[in-house]
Structures are given as C-alpha cells and as structure tokens.
Amino acid sequence: MQNEQATQFRGSSQLAQLSQAGIFLAVLLAVQLVGLPNPVTGTLVNAILLFVLLQLGPRFALMLGILSPLGGIISGHLPAPLYPVMPVIMAGNLLMLSCCFLLRNRHALARYLIPAAAKAFIIWSAGSAIVSFMQLDEAVKWLFIPVMAIQFFTAAVGIFVGEKLFAATSRNMVKQ
C-alpha cells in the first residue's frame, strides 16, 4: 500500500513538472512574440532557460533549449536566411545549459561568464565554418563577431537574471 502511494505521488510529481515545463514553454514563446528588440528577447529567453534548469532540472531545460529557436522562427527574431543555423543555436543553448548545470556551485563570475562564452564561441565557430565551407569572402567572418558579442551578452545577463529570479521565488516559497 505504501509503495503504491509512493508510485502514485511520483507520477503526479512528474505530471506537475511536465505541466510546469509546458507553461514555461508558453511563456518562452510569448516573450518571443511580444516584439521586443533581439537583445532584450535573448536575455529573457536565456533567463527563462536558466530558471527552468534550476526549478525543474536539466531534462526540461534542455528540452526548452532545443525548442526555443523554433519560437525565434515563429516570432521573426530568426530571419529566414538564418534558418540553416538553427541547429547551431540549439547546440549553443544546450552547451550553455550544460555548463550552467556543471558550474552551479562555483563562483558567480564562473557561473555567468563560462556558459556565456561557450554559447558565443560555438555560434561564432559554426558561423566561421559555414563561411569557410561555402567559400564566402573572409570579410563575412567579421559579421559573426557582433553576433558572438550579442550572444555572450544576452547569455551572461540572462543567467544572472534567471538566478536572481529563482532565488527570489525560492525565498518567497520558503516564507509561505
């Protein structure tokens, strides 16, 4: 009987987590559809991804990290010529979240800067590889530097905001 109750509770807990992940996915898509400038949207998306990592764990955060570029397509934040790099953005999100998970107990600067640098580097290196593969003018590689800088900034600030939001909501839940 006790085993049956434990199994039933675990199942309802998993359903609650899945429901929360669905709500966060809806919020993620809504943030992208509002039409804010790309740096603001990117920061909020990264903050949501980190919040989900801390709140629900890596499985749901990674799932949303894969799905978030689809929201960029739906909202128009990812223009049609960049659709082929969508897997790179997904990989950048996954790498950022993995680094955040591995560094979650480290110094704040490491928690903010290393995952942001990893995400920016993977996007820059993939962009450079695409330029080389397509034998485009080397000057085109320089176009990826502003993209890399924006990705770094939005990831670092998003991680900071996501951590602060999680800490604030955790404190409120403890008080209740």
73: exposed, middle or buried (Cβ count in 10 Å: 0-12, 13-18, 19+): middle
pLDDT at 73 over 80: yes
Number of domains in the chain: 1
CATH number of 38's domain: 1.10.1760.20
**Percent of the chain whose pLDDT exceeds 70:** 86
Q: Print the domain residue range for 16.
A: 2-175
Q: Are 96 and 118 in contact (CB under 8 A)?
A: yes
The answer to whether 25 and 32 are in contact (CB under 8 A) is no
**Type of residue found at 116:** A
Q: Please write the tens of the pLDDT for every residue from 1-55.
A: 444 444 444 556 888 889 999 999 999 999 999 989 989 999 999 999 999 999 9
pTM: 0.85
